Amino acid sequence: MAPSSDGPPASYLRTLDCVHCGLCLPHCPTHQVLRIEADSPRGRIYLMRALAEGRVDDAEAIRPFLDRCLDCRACETACPSGVRYGEILEDTRATLERARPKRGVAAWLTRTLLWHVVARQRRLRFLFWWLRVFEVLGLQRLATALRLLPAHVATLAPPVPPARERRPLRTGLHRPAEGTEVRGRVALFTGCVMEPLFGRVNRATLDLLLANGFEVDVVAAQRCCGALLVHAGQPDRARQLAAANVRAFRDADVVINNAAGCGCALKEYGHLLGTDEGRRFAAKCRDICEFLAHEGLTATPRPFHGRLVYDDPCHLCHGQGVRSAPRELLRQVPGVELVEAEHSADCCGSAGIYNLLQPELAAAIGERKAAEIRACAPAAIATGNPGCMMQIDSHMHRSGHSVPVRHPVEFLLPPP
Amino acid sequence: MAIERDLTRALGPERVLHTRDALLAWECDGFTVLKSRPRAVVLPESTTEVQAVLRLLHAAAVPFVPRGAGTCLSGGPTAGADAVVVDCSRMRRVLHVSTVDRIATVQPGVVNLDLTAAVSDHDLHYAPDPSSQSVCTIGGNLAENSGGPHCFKYGMTTDHVLAATVVCPDGSLAHLGDPAGPRSPHGLDVLGVFCGSEGTFGIATEITVRLCRNPPEVRTLLASFASMSSACRAVGDIVAAGLVPAALEILDQATIRAVEASVYRAGYPENAAAVLLVELDGPHEVVGEEAAEITAFFRKNGALQSEEATTPDERKRLWKGRKGAFGAMGRIDTDLYVLDGVVPRTRLEEALTKITEIGRRHGVTLSNVFHAGDGNLHPNISFDGRDPDATARTIAAGHEILQLCVELGGSITGEHGVGGEKLDHVPLMFDDDDLEVMARVRRAFDPDGRCNPGKVLPQRHACAEVAKWPQMTAEVLGEGAAEGGQ
């Protein structure tokens, strides 16, 4: 759909695909917790359709229900009619935000941080430098104790790793070690928060690609993918980032990413930009697991002895339809016992910055997820999205069952 | 707004919704032709809370409508503008399971399939399985006396409900039936009357149901046919031979194509005019023999091809298409009118031919998916609800189809209920005396006519002061539709 400034006609037409059968209800995490029709995909589609038809008197009255949506897309996987819920939601949020930007400190802070900090890598690095200083000095605990910082933010925020782990990857072309047969060249999308929070995952991704014979181009001019802006109803700003990324990766044949949320957003640039260029870019994006499962591993991973639970990130399984690839790869780890938790494809409640905006609901959903994982008594957990890694880690920790939560690529690395 | 204030005091602000715009979400069920915004929605969690709510509503003389998951297909839980929806979704606890007696007591908001999941470790299941079983609730099933593919062998909801605790419209409690079952030979079978009363007698808050042992072996057969007639004849042969498969389902070509285009893709052959899905269960030897007999009937009636699923995964795949069929119709047009007429099995072929003819005459898009074993048809009309002319033609075609079912010796509904949808069709089956008797039974439960008013019985026989449904129908459908519906 081409972006339009006067309402969302294409996404309105998509609401008409829903025949109100309700098969989405048991797949919606918020409906499972709340059991409120307006907090189900069927109910939200109905409200968004009514809004587009001009039957809603005060849009603010229905906004809380739309805000509570995780945008996890589990309903899309369940929908027999093929409703593209994510597009409807994102367009509707954009329309509402344009008509009346959300008020309040939290909304202002979200807008400011997303655009002026998260989307600008240097400022983000600077922020994390300060956070690290705060942490080292114990100021974070002090701030929580003095109630300057809400408790849920403090418990959810993971410890900021030391500087050497936050160091960005060297930009430019990386070549496999002498003697490794070169199978091709890919470009690597490094993401915004992955770098300062999980720099080790980016390094593991790079090393894994190199070990398996791929030259890796870490493109310098890349920017944040814009997913969080799209979710927050600011597609115009996201479009600026998307256009920059399309330009930055112009020469790449394959663009690899390792964060499900980013990957899903990158693959939807066609819809976001509404241009052929955007569609071409989207077609060359691959999740790291999707790519390697297709190409095949040539380097045997380091052994891991124990039970490993793989948890599906929503934007990988529902958003990109990638379910078997990570499992296929993880099963190749020598000694591993890969176990399936109940409802592995259900959202963990992280959903971008949802756990900061809707702490109570996110906690309820996160606790369910942790309980289902605990039932498997795993030695470690693998999941391919930074938000999910933090949320699952935080809830496992809270329930006193801390086990390492890692990105799949960290299990796939060959011995050094 | 006094009643809203009192309800909020009883349940707390989070479980009483009365913002007009938010209430839009409760405007309709699976029968999207009828739309009406309720006055408020309440979400009680226990029998005591339901009692408290109904007492307040009784004192204020406010009508109410019980609701489960909103998957009803006849507008049953759609509430008038003056009514409060009592949404039982949050009453989702399995209260008691006895594996020895093979019974379970559940709250009404427990999802049908969740009950089976809760007892599957004991090799048990809850047998009635509406297509919406992953969503619909036991409370809703009881209200509608729901069926499902496996009811051909195992019976409808009424055959599986043993007892219910019911909150009457005035807030008082009644205990119907006997958890020790079978349904009481002592006294009147009041529970039997309650089951299928479509939420017009009260709200069941604790329901005791029978659980069935999982069969030792299950096999699912699928055959495709070049014509609907030969598929129907195969069903006739199977039933005439005295076989009672667990399920006998037919999907026509339009349905097959919609399903195959969806995430519920089951691998049904898209060139077939119809597929017949047969499930057999029981001891190994019996199932084997029956499968051979049925395969012979497939051949005799010229089946194009047939396959057999023996592993749980293969069976799940074959059933997936059937269970997702209604939703997949959204691929054809924006709205769906699911009819629910019944004809004697021997007249299936004739009925389908005539239904196709009716569809053609009214210029509507028809598809058929149905419980062939029970003769329970589901002609589905896909239409654009925003187009008054298309809606009128849809309603008119539907009316004629139901008329045909009655003429052939069948009925207007097999499992979806009358709700607000079939009020005009009830007189096709019952005369004034019949209806008056039913109205008297209803008044015994609900003397003030506040419990789901305007549903099931046409206005003349319901309580006149609150039954505004037909007028509302006319408003919603417009005058053209009302004429078409006559």
> Quick check: is B155 in a domain?
yes
**Domain at A45, CATH number:** 1.10.1060.10
Tell me how close the Cα of B337 comes to any Cα of chain A, in angstroms: 10
**Domain at A336, CATH number:** 3.40.50
Domain count of the fold of chain A: 4
Measured distance CA(B398)–CA(B405) in Å, rounded = 11
CA B189, B190, B193, B196 torsion-angle sign = negative
The domain boundary, picked from A261, A293, A325, lies at A293
Alpha helix ranges (H) inside B324-460: 325-328, 348-362, 388-407, 432-445
Please check whether residue A47 is in contact with residue A383, taking contact to mean a CB–CB distance below 8 angstroms. no
Judged by CB atoms closer than 8 Å, whether chains meet at A20 and B89 is answered as: no
Q: Per-residue confidence at B186, pLDDT binned at 50, 70, 90?
A: confident
Average pLDDT over residues A139-147: 66
Half-sphere CA count of B221, side-chain side, radius 13 A: 28
Cβ within 8 Å of residue B413, ≥6 positions away: B74, B340, B341, B342, B422
Which residues of chain B make contact with A43, given a CB cutoff of 8 A?
25
**Domain at B171, CATH number:** 3.30.465.10
> Quick check: is B414 in a domain?
no
Measured distance CA(B342)–CA(B78) in Å, rounded = 24
Measured distance CA(B465)–CA(B448) in Å, rounded = 9
User: How many residues make up chain B in this entry?
Assistant: 486
Average pLDDT over residues B120-132: 96
Say what percent of chain A tops pLDDT 70.
92
Domain identity same for A307 and A391: yes
Domain identity same for B226 and B314: yes
Measured distance CA(B218)–CA(B315) in Å, rounded = 9
Measured distance CA(A56)–CA(A306) in Å, rounded = 54
The domain boundary, picked from B327, B350, B382, lies at B327
> Quick check: is A68 in a domain?
yes
Measured distance CA(A43)–CA(B87) in Å, rounded = 14
Domain identity same for A110 and A49: no
Domain identity same for B438 and B453: yes
Among A139-148, A354-363, B14-23, B200-209, which is the least confidently predicted range?
A139-148
Of B17, B22, B336, the CB nearest to A19: B336
Tokens of A404: 């390492």
Tokens of B211: 């659980």
SS3 A157: coil
Q: Which residue has the higher pLDDT, B63 or B330?
A: B63
Domain identity same for B133 and B162: yes
Reported as a single tens digit per residue, the pLDDT across A24-82 is: 999 999 999 999 999 999 999 999 999 999 999 999 999 999 999 999 999 999 999 99
Domain identity same for A274 and A393: no
Q: Which residue has the higher pLDDT, A196 or B282?
A: B282
CA A151, A156, A162, A163 torsion-angle sign = negative
User: In this complex, how many residue pairs, one in chain A and one in chain B, have their CB atoms less than 8 Å apart?
Assistant: 115
Average pLDDT over residues B158-175: 96
Q: What DSSP state is assigned to residue B422?
A: S
The domain boundary, picked from B213, B229, B249, lies at B213
* Residue B328: count of CB within 10 angstroms of its CB: 30
Tell me how close the Cα of B90 comes to any Cα of chain A, in angstroms: 6
Domain containing A193 equals: 165-293
SS3 B14: helix
The domain boundary, picked from B171, B198, B213, lies at B213
Task: Give the containing element (helix H, strand E) for A397.
Answer: helix A386-398
Whether the predicted pLDDT of B131 surpasses 70: yes
Residue type for position A112? T
Q: What DSSP state is assigned to residue B282?
A: E
Measured distance CA(A254)–CA(A227) in Å, rounded = 20
pLDDT of residue A2: 39
Q: Per-residue confidence at A349, pLDDT binned at 50, 70, 90?
A: very high
Domain identity same for B323 and B333: no
| B93 touches A: beta carbon within 8 Å | no
Whether the predicted pLDDT of B485 surpasses 50: no
Q: Per-residue confidence at A99, pLDDT binned at 50, 70, 90?
A: confident
First to last CA, chain B: 38
> Quick check: is B417 in a domain?
no
Alpha helix ranges (H) inside B324-387: 325-328, 348-362
Whether the predicted pLDDT of A147 surpasses 80: no
First to last CA, chain A: 47
Q: Per-residue confidence at B466, pLDDT binned at 50, 70, 90?
A: very low
> Quick check: is B63 in a domain?
yes
Measured distance CA(B39)–CA(A290) in Å, rounded = 50
> Quick check: is B412 in a domain?
no
Whether the predicted pLDDT of B472 surpasses 90: no
Judged by CB atoms closer than 8 Å, whether chains meet at A80 and B43 is answered as: no
**Domain at B387, CATH number:** 3.30.70.2740
CA A236, A241, A244, A250 torsion-angle sign = negative
Tokens of B57: 């509503």
> Quick check: is B393 in a domain?
yes
Cα B429 from chain centre = 19
Domain identity same for A214 and A257: yes
Domain identity same for B223 and B308: yes
Tell me how close the Cα of B17 comes to any Cα of chain A, in angstroms: 10
Whether the predicted pLDDT of B480 surpasses 70: no
Domain identity same for B221 and B321: yes
Domain identity same for A155 and A209: no
Integer CA distances (angstroms), A83 to A16, A41, A45, B190, B327, in order: 8, 10, 9, 43, 10
Reported as a single tens digit per residue, the pLDDT across A267-284 is: 999 999 999 999 999 999
Domain identity same for A176 and A206: yes
Across chain A, mean pLDDT equals 89
Q: Per-residue confidence at A352, pLDDT binned at 50, 70, 90?
A: confident
Domain identity same for B106 and B177: yes
Q: Per-residue confidence at B1, pLDDT binned at 50, 70, 90?
A: low
Measured distance CA(B182)–CA(A390) in Å, rounded = 54
> Quick check: is B61 in a domain?
yes
pLDDT of residue B471: 43
Say what percent of chain B tops pLDDT 90.
85
Domain identity same for B378 and B470: no
Domain identity same for B174 and B191: yes
Q: What DSSP state is assigned to residue A114?
A: I
> Quick check: is A1 in a domain?
no
Domain identity same for A119 and A54: no
Domain identity same for A270 and A304: no
Measured distance CA(B389)–CA(B392) in Å, rounded = 5
pLDDT of residue A153: 63
Q: Per-residue confidence at A121, pLDDT binned at 50, 70, 90?
A: confident
> Quick check: is A2 in a domain?
no
Report the DSSP pairing between strands B84-87 and A184-188. Answer: unpaired
**Residue in the structure block whose two tokens are 């071409």:** A280
SS3 A37: helix
Q: Per-residue confidence at B460, pLDDT binned at 50, 70, 90?
A: low
Judged by CB atoms closer than 8 Å, whether chains meet at A38 and B25 is answered as: yes
> Quick check: is A3 in a domain?
no
Domain count of the fold of chain B: 5
How buried is B173 (Cβ within 10 angstroms: 0-12 exposed, 13-18 middle, 19+ buried)? middle
Domain identity same for B318 and B227: yes
Task: Give the containing element (helix H, strand E) for A104.
Answer: none
| B240 touches A: beta carbon within 8 Å | no
Q: Per-residue confidence at B209, pLDDT binned at 50, 70, 90?
A: very high
Q: Which residue has the higher pLDDT, A190 or A102?
A: A190
Which residues of chain B make contact with A78, given a CB cutoff of 8 A?
263
SS3 B403: helix
Judged by CB atoms closer than 8 Å, whether chains meet at A22 and B262 is answered as: no
Whether the predicted pLDDT of A292 surpasses 50: yes
Judged by CB atoms closer than 8 Å, whether chains meet at B330 and A19 is answered as: yes
Whether the predicted pLDDT of B468 surpasses 50: no
The domain boundary, picked from A99, A130, A152, lies at A99
**Domain at B255, CATH number:** 3.30.70.2190
> Quick check: is B362 in a domain?
yes
Q: Which residue has the higher pLDDT, B209 or A401?
A: B209
Which residues of chain A make contact with B32, given a CB cutoff of 8 A?
19-20
Which residues of chain A make contact with B30, given a CB cutoff of 8 A?
19-22
Q: Per-residue confidence at B464, pLDDT binned at 50, 70, 90?
A: very low
Domain identity same for B145 and B205: yes
Reported as a single tens digit per residue, the pLDDT across B371-417 is: 999 999 999 999 998 899 999 999 999 999 999 999 999 999 999 99
Reported as a single tens digit per residue, the pLDDT across B9-33 is: 999 999 999 999 999 999 999 999 9
Among A1-5, A61-65, A313-317, B115-119, which is the least confidently predicted range?
A1-5
Reported as a single tens digit per residue, the pLDDT across B226-250 is: 999 999 999 999 999 999 999 999 9
**Domain at B35, CATH number:** 3.30.43.10
Domain identity same for B53 and B153: no
Among A166-180, A355-369, B464-478, which is the least confidently predicted range?
B464-478
DSSP string covering B219-264: EEEEEEESSHHHHHHHHHHHHHTT---SEEEEEEHHHHHHHHTSTT
Domain identity same for A196 and A77: no
Domain identity same for A169 and A266: yes
Domain containing B471 equals: 426-485
Judged by CB atoms closer than 8 Å, whether chains meet at B327 and A21 is answered as: yes
> Quick check: is A4 in a domain?
no
Measured distance CA(A222)–CA(B337) in Å, rounded = 51
Of B17, B24, B326, the CB nearest to A55: B24
Which residues of chain B make contact with A80, given a CB cutoff of 8 A?
259, 262-264, 324-328, 330
* Residue B281: count of CB within 10 angstroms of its CB: 20
Half-sphere CA count of B230, side-chain side, radius 13 A: 18
pLDDT of residue A150: 65
pLDDT of residue A97: 87
Judged by CB atoms closer than 8 Å, whether chains meet at B71 and A22 is answered as: yes
pLDDT of residue B484: 35
What is the chain A residue with the closest CA to B91? A35
SS3 B400: helix
pLDDT of residue A106: 74
Reported as a single tens digit per residue, the pLDDT across B406-438 is: 999 999 999 999 999 999 999 999 999 999 999
Average pLDDT over residues A383-395: 93
The domain boundary, picked from A253, A270, A293, lies at A293
| B421 touches A: beta carbon within 8 Å | no
Average pLDDT over residues B437-461: 92
Among A116-120, B192-196, B280-284, B463-467, which is the least confidently predicted range?
B463-467
Residues 32-71 of A with CB under 8 A from B: 35-38, 42-44, 46-47, 50, 55-59, 61-62, 65
* Residue B377: count of CB within 10 angstroms of its CB: 27
Please check whether residue A271 is in contact with residue A1, taking contact to mean a CB–CB distance below 8 angstroms. yes
CA B422, B84, B326, A93 torsion-angle sign = positive
Across chain B, mean pLDDT equals 91
DSSP string covering A264-322: HHHHTHHHHH-SHHHHHHHHTEEEHHHHHHHH---SPPPP--EEEEE---HHHHTTS--
pLDDT of residue B13: 95
